[in-house]
Amino acid sequence: MIERILYEPDEKKDWGLEIDNQYKAIFTRNIGLFTEEEQAKIKQSTVAIAGVGGVGGLAAERMIRLGVGRLKITDSGDLEDSNLNRQYAASMLNLGRNKAEVVYENIKDINPHAEVIHSNSGIKSEKDAMLFVSDSDIIIDVMDFGLFRESILLQRAAREKGIHYLFSTAIGFGAITVVFDPDGITLEEYNKLPVDVDVNDPENLYVPMERIVPIIPKYVKNITIVEDVIAGRIPVPTTSIGAGLSAIQAVSEAINVIIDRDFPKAPYFTYFDLVDRQMVVGSII
């Protein structure tokens, strides 16, 4: 049985205000798209990613390559055959190993100035959520579909700490991302649930389809596929295209939060689809 690791810090790195010559050399191509002041904010930031599968693994790698100073990742799942079609760092050599551990090994040497903290615990409890949110600047929730309880625990912890929380998920060849201001609409309200819902009773966590999939791609001809996924009868059909787009959306919005750029906030969502060629900023209300 694998020991449940709550907190596994990397070797402590200096990620303060100063930017040395090596950091400048690594991220010099960012300047012009970010100002030096914005790059310094990215270096000073702590980003926490819950779930490092198809979306989260790539999001972690993109964050490190943007120059984030401190990254926290957690996932309790192990790699399996069905992950090979889309998940960053998944390979035949890694099957059966914890996802967070594998992603950590693949990103820890990209930016020597970053501190990477990994955990195989996932978000199982309110305590896990509070520990994960602690000392973070932005929470990215890309856990497996249907983990409504865990997501609500995570966003509640983020609200309590005054931290932005976002979720992103692939929908076919597209993706949807929603950013929650700690003083704005709650995830419970977004999901059409009572704010004080008891998350420990699964019967309380029914989320209407129009909140989960506010836009159904035109190429999904059989709506029962969507209904079967939401009901848990079949796994979510997904490819590296939708997962990759979802990861990029999540990272882009997280950076917008960090450097104080404008971005849509819940109840607004941002939806892209590369087959339908749609870009929508819509609202669930």
Give the model's pLDDT for residue 17: 45
Ranges of residues in the chain with a pLDDT under 70 are: 1-19
Domain extents for the chain? 8-283
The β-bridge relationship of strands 70-74 and 46-50 is parallel
The pTM is what? 0.92
What 195-200 contacts at long range (C-beta under 8 Å, 24+ apart), as own/partner pairs, is: 197/152, 199/148, 199/149, 199/152, 199/153, 200/149
CB atoms within 10 A of CB 241: 16
pLDDT in tens, 226-279: 888 888 888 888 899 999 999 999 999 999 999 999 999 999 999 999 999 999
Domain at 8-283, CATH from 3.40.50.2300, 3.40.50.300, 3.90.25.10, 3.40.50.720: 3.40.50.720
Give the model's pLDDT for residue 221: 85
Give the model's pLDDT for residue 222: 82
Give the model's pLDDT for residue 228: 83
Give the model's pLDDT for residue 47: 98
Give the model's pLDDT for residue 127: 95
Give the model's pLDDT for residue 8: 58
